[in-house]
């Protein structure tokens, strides 16, 4: 069970949230994108073994979206930041949650 | 050595002291015709069929841990072919047919038991969906028949078909030729027979890099040193993205933890397998008497073979409602495996943009049933450098062309 510090509600269990998958994916211009670029945008994912920047939705809480940097092996939450923010530099202190 | 009643008697006479090793543990040679990454069922089956069907025996299977220690040893052993779309139905049916003759072919008892698989319908939509899938299966020559709650109760008396149940059973559908098999034995059987034919099975050998020159693979780097290879076939399951990246490829999969568990062993109460799509409960009983229970995936990417307790709780809530007899049983073990989920919940068995590099992944939550079929078509793809008719639709290119094989709603459990 992850304990996630929602930027608005504070520390909650992960079952209150829903994960929206990889964050920071830029949508190409559909008028000019090739099939390959569009497939990459729609389907290809980094799926890293390690730090993953992902979107989360507090679906059973404040219903706000936000970003989280989480290690996919240890589940350590390294940072929680706004939905419009760029990923912060990570120092590995894990202050965003547990 | 051929296993038979005579070899058993001979070994019994010698107090079972002289059984030979089932396969060798060789050091890797400097180069191979084909290197297979991943010594699970799919990788071992691929090596076996490369040697048997295509005469390519200069093959190494590289496994970072021990044979079948990943998802092959962590699944709930169900084998079935009742898929909705033609492409999936044909591929999984090929696999089911291979399972039917597998023990004889491998001279190893994989304990395939055609005990039937029932899907339960808990609402009108489920009933219609099962009817649709039943018709689709029938058109593909696959047995899948609708059954009434009363018939289900007769086959499996432990099911609660009360109308007052939280999850009423309105009906179901049964594939009688489906069933289960001993998962470890499938890996061991393929390993032993592949080894017989000259395949080197190398355990504790993790691939750390793939060498590509001029768009073509030349070999792999491993924890046991570099190995040259003309062709590389990857069957890395949950690590598809990691291995793909070594060859410079981005993969359309995400890795999730899928959990399963067994109860303490009890006397036989269930001689079939029952799945409920809607409440995501499935149950079988092993020969040891444990109830084998499958749960769902955690809703976020994970490479940790430990899942959330909430997923298990959710599964057990549905289970206790559907099978009240289990309420006082204890769960003996729970475990997790890392599955690679494709956007369309269908696998990728395909050539890649890198010449000589082939990918077999994306089996998601249901790869065990496909083990022999997957190996059979993957071996063909590697040996002939083109897909077999059975797997040409499962190409990596489908994500560009849009020809997805959407089994999200059609697979027998919800993803």
Buried b / exposed e over B331-368, threshold 16 CB at 10 Å, is: eeebebbbbbbbbbbbbbbbbbebebbbbbbbbbbbbb
ipTM reported for the complex, 2 dp: 0.92
* pLDDT number for residue B278: 87
A1 to B300: CB separation less than 8 angstroms, yes or no: no
At CA A95, angle to CA B257 and CA A97, rounded to 5? 40
Average pLDDT of the segment spanning B126-152: 96
Which residues are within 8 A (CB) of B99 and not within 5 positions of it... i.e. 6 or more apart?
A: B79, B110, B112, B181, B369, B372
A43 to B343: CB separation less than 8 angstroms, yes or no: yes
Encoding tokens for residue B76?
Answer: 């709930």
**pTM for this structure?**
0.95
Residue B153 has pLDDT above 70, yes or no: yes
User: How many CB pairs (< 8 A) connect A and B?
Assistant: 70
* pLDDT number for residue B411: 54
Q: What is the DSSP letter of B113?
A: B
* Residues above pLDDT 70, as percent of chain B: 98
> B58-117 pLDDT, tens per residue?
999 999 999 999 999 999 999 999 999 999 999 999 999 999 999 999 999 999 999 999
Pick the CATH number of A1-24+47-98 from 3.30.565.10, 2.70.98.60, 3.40.47.10, 3.30.2270.10: 3.30.2270.10
Q: Is A60 on the interface with B (CB under 8 A)?
A: no
Measure the CA–CA gap between B234 and B59, rounded to whole angstroms: 13
Average pLDDT of the segment spanning B11-26: 95
* pLDDT number for residue A97: 43
Q: Give how far Cα A24 sits from Cα of A34, A74, B299, Å.
A: 20, 22, 19
Nearest residue to B177 via CA among B219, B226, B132, B144: B144
B304 to A43: CB separation less than 8 angstroms, yes or no: no
Nearest residue to B206 via CA among B243, B167, B261: B243
Measure the CA–CA gap between B345 and B409, rounded to whole angstroms: 9
> B311-342 pLDDT, tens per residue?
999 999 999 999 999 999 999 999 999 999 99
Judging contacts by C-beta atoms under 8 Å, the chain B residues touching residue A13 are 310
Asked if B281 contacts B367 with a C-beta cutoff of 8 angstroms, the reply is no
For chain B, give the mean pLDDT: 95
A52 to B301: CB separation less than 8 angstroms, yes or no: yes
Nearest CA in chain A to B398: A39
A44 to B308: CB separation less than 8 angstroms, yes or no: no
* Residues above pLDDT 90, as percent of chain B: 96
Measure the CA–CA gap between B334 and B318, rounded to whole angstroms: 17
Give the DSSP per-residue string, A29-85. Answer: -TTT--HHHHHHHHT-B---SSEEEEEEE-TTTT--EEEEEEETTT--EEEEEETTS
Q: Is A82 on the interface with B (CB under 8 A)?
A: no
B304 to A52: CB separation less than 8 angstroms, yes or no: no
Half-sphere exposure of B389 (CA within 13 A, CB side): 3
Residue A2, Cβ neighbours under 10 Å: how many?
Answer: 20
Residue B123, Cβ neighbours under 10 Å: how many?
Answer: 12
Encoding tokens for residue B235?
Answer: 């069957």
Min Cα distance A8 → chain B (Å) is 21
Measure the CA–CA gap between B310 and A12, rounded to whole angstroms: 14
Residue B224 has pLDDT above 90, yes or no: yes
DSSP run (H or E) holding B243: helix B240-246
B308 to A15: CB separation less than 8 angstroms, yes or no: yes
* pLDDT number for residue A90: 83
Residue B16 has pLDDT above 70, yes or no: yes
Average pLDDT of the segment spanning B241-256: 97
B309 to A72: CB separation less than 8 angstroms, yes or no: no
Judging contacts by C-beta atoms under 8 Å, the chain B residues touching residue A22 are 254, 301
Encoding tokens for residue B266?
Answer: 């009890």
DSSP run (H or E) holding B227: strand B225-234
In the predicted model, residues of chain A with pLDDT beneath 70 are 91-98
At CA B241, angle to CA B239 and CA B242, rounded to 5? 65
Residue B155 has pLDDT above 60, yes or no: yes
Q: Give how far Cα B271 sits from Cα of B152, B186, B284, B291, B406, Å.
A: 12, 21, 8, 11, 31
Asked if B298 contacts B308 with a C-beta cutoff of 8 angstroms, the reply is yes
Measure the CA–CA gap between A92 and A75, rounded to whole angstroms: 12
B101: exposed, middle or buried (Cβ count in 10 Å: 0-12, 13-18, 19+) = exposed
Judging contacts by C-beta atoms under 8 Å, the chain B residues touching residue A48 are 241
* pLDDT number for residue B415: 42
Min Cα distance A43 → chain B (Å) is 5
Higher per-residue confidence, B223 vs B277: B223
């Amino acid at each position: 069970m992850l304990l996630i510090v929602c930027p608005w509600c504070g520390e909650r269990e992960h079952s209150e949230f829903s994960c929206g998958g990889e964050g920071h994916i830029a949508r190409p211009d559909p008028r000019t994108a090739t099939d390959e670029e569009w497939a990459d945008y729609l389907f290809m994912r980094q799926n890293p073994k390690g730090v993953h920047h992902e979107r989360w939705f507090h679906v059973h809480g404040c219903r706000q979206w936000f970003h989280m940097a989480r290690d996919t092996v240890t589940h350590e939450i390294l940072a929680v930041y706004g939905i419009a923010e760029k990923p912060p530099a990570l120092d590995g202190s894990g202050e965003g949650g547990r | 050595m051929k296993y038979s009643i005579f070899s058993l008697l001979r070994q019994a006479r010698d107090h079972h002291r002289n059984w030979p090793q089932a396969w060798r543990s060789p050091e890797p040679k400097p180069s191979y015709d084909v290197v297979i990454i991943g010594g699970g069922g799919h990788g071992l089956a691929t090596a076996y069929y490369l040697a048997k069907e295509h005469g390519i025996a200069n093959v190494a299977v590289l496994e970072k841990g021990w044979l079948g220690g990943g998802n092959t040893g962590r699944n709930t052993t169900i084998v079935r072919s009742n898929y909705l779309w033609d492409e999936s139905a044909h591929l999984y049916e090929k696999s089911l047919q291979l399972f039917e003759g597998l023990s004889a072919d491998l001279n190893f008892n994989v304990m395939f038991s055609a005990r039937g698989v029932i899907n339960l319908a808990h609402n009108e939509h489920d009933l219609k969906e099962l009817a649709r899938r039943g018709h689709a299966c029938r058109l593909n020559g696959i047995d899948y028949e609708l059954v009434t709650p009363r018939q289900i109760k007769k086959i499996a008396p432990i099911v609660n078909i009360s109308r007052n149940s939280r999850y009423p059973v309105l009906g179901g559908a049964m594939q009688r030729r489906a069933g289960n098999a001993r998962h470890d034995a499938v890996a061991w059987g393929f390993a032993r027979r592949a080894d017989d034919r000259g395949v080197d099975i190398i355990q504790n050998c993790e691939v750390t890099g793939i060498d590509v020159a001029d768009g073509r693979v030349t070999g792999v780097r491993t924890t046991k040193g570099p190995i040259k290879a003309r062709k590389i076939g990857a069957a890395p399951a949950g690590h598809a993205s990691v291995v793909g990246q070594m060859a410079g490829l981005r993969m359309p999969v995400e890795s999730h933890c899928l959990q399963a568990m067994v109860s303490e062993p009890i006397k036989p109460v269930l001689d079939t397998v029952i799945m409920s799509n809607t409440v995501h409960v499935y149950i079988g009983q092993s020969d040891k008497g444990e109830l084998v229970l499958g749960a769902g995936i955690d809703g976020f990417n994970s490479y940790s073979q430990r899942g959330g307790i909430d997923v298990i709780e959710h599964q057990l809530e549905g289970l206790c409602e559907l099978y009240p007899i289990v309420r006082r049983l204890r769960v003996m073990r729970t475990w997790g495996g890392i599955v690679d989920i494709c956007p369309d919940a269908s696998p990728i068995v395909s050539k890649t943009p890198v010449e000589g590099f082939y990918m077999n992944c994306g089996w998601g939550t249901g790869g065990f049933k496909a083990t022999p079929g997957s190996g059979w078509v993957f071996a063909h793809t590697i040996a002939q450098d083109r897909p077999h008719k059975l797997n040409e639709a499962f190409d990596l290119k489908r994500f560009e062309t849009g020809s997805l094989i959407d089994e999200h709603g059609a697979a027998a459990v919800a993803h």
